[in-house]
Amino acid sequence: MRPTTDSQHEWKGDQDVRVTSSKARSKEPRLRRELYPPIDCDDSGWLEVSELHSLYWEVSGNPAGQAVVFLHGGPGSGTSSENRRFFDPKFYRIVLFDQRGAGKSTPHACLEENTTWDLVNDIEKIRKHLGIDTWQVFGGSWGSTLALVYAQCHPERVTGLTLRGIFLLRKKEIDWFYEGGASAIFPDAWELYRDFIPEDERDNFVKAYSKRLNSTDESVQISAAKAWTNWEMATSYLVPNEDSLRRGENDQFALAFARVENHYFKNKGFFPTDSFLLDNVDKIRHIRAVIVQGRYDVVCPLMSAWDLHRAWPEADFILVPTAGHSANEPGIATELVAACEMHKSFSQKGP
């Protein structure tokens, strides 16, 4: 376990929470906070991870550099070229891949053989396929869920964690966002999500949407997918973002996003208990980690990041005071870049 510093402090007034876990942090030079320029990928392909599923993967940056794997949200959203920009391409070997059913992976929007444990195994298959021994893991929203469970299953393979918009997939988190809690903040967007479902089925929106997302009528699937996806796209930023809203209108994106996400939430993340991720923090307590959270994150509210922070005080905790959920929020993005720079500086120095 790393030593903690006597200079730790938490939120006072209108400023970032910064709870640092190492005295060395205070001696670090000012870290870069701007996204790196766009880069092309150097290699890509599809990895057959089962008789049914093939995953799209890509690598960019320094082929001899420190490996880092980006775990996208959703589940079901897929990756984009912009995801490479959090990482220094001269230092990092940057690995992106689309999870089962998402992005360029095939079959599209498929729910068969698609569980958290399948994805954990997939990450290991990609690591081995690329000849990587250990790597850093970066994940936001559902990606933070997957990063935590992967690290808990394979702590010997993880050299550092960067986590954003913490989602522990507990019932109270699902109920907050999908069963009406967040309607207090976005009642206009909520009505569009709510009114897609008949009144007599509104006691369980996740179940009602599942019925339609798995309809034999493709038009019903697409309509339900757009209603589900647009609710999240409308609430992911502190100020709604037009690009995000347009993304929710894309049939292909919405179908994968909504079907896979709903499938995981209906099945409670395939976790054996509601508090599974918090109960297993001891397995990763020794791993250097940074948690970045927007105070006004409606999709993955602060309560989850705070619960993880309390269970894992050794991890650095940064609360961005004027940000919502998305990694592309200016305050969130700058802190994520800084977190990757911090990991880089420790990698250069060694343990």
Active site residue 215: no
CA 193, 196, 197, 198 dihedral sign is positive
DSSP-derived letter for residue 167 is -
Cα–Cα dist 173/284, whole Å? 23
Q: Is 325 a catalytic residue?
A: yes
CA 216 to the chain's CA centroid: 30
Put the strands of the sheet holding 92-97 in their side by side order: 17-19, 316-320, 289-294, 158-164, 135-140, 66-71, 92-97, 54-61, 43-48
> Is residue 251 annotated as part of the catalytic site, yes or no?
no
Distance CA 329, CA 76 (A): 20
**Catalytic-role residue among 141, 210, 326, 347:** 141
Exactly one of 53, 263, 309, 325 is catalytic; which is it? 325
Q: What gap in Å lies between CA 296 and CA 291, rounded to an integer?
A: 15
Residue 267: Cβ within 10 Å count: 16
Instruction: Give helix then strand counts, H and E, for the chain.
Output: 11, 9
Rounded to an integer, what distance in angstroms lies between the CA atom of residue 75 and that of residue 230? 15
Task: Render the burial of 22-52: b for 16+ CB within 10 Å, e for the rest.
Answer: beebeeeeebeeebbeeeeeeeeeebebeee
Q: How far apart are CA 169 and CA 277, in angstroms?
A: 9
Question: Both tokens of residue 137?
Answer: 């893991």
Question: Out of 297, 304, 316, 343, which one is annotated catalytic?
Answer: 297
* Residue 283 to residue 304: CA distance in whole angstroms: 19
Annotated catalytic residues are: 141, 297, 325
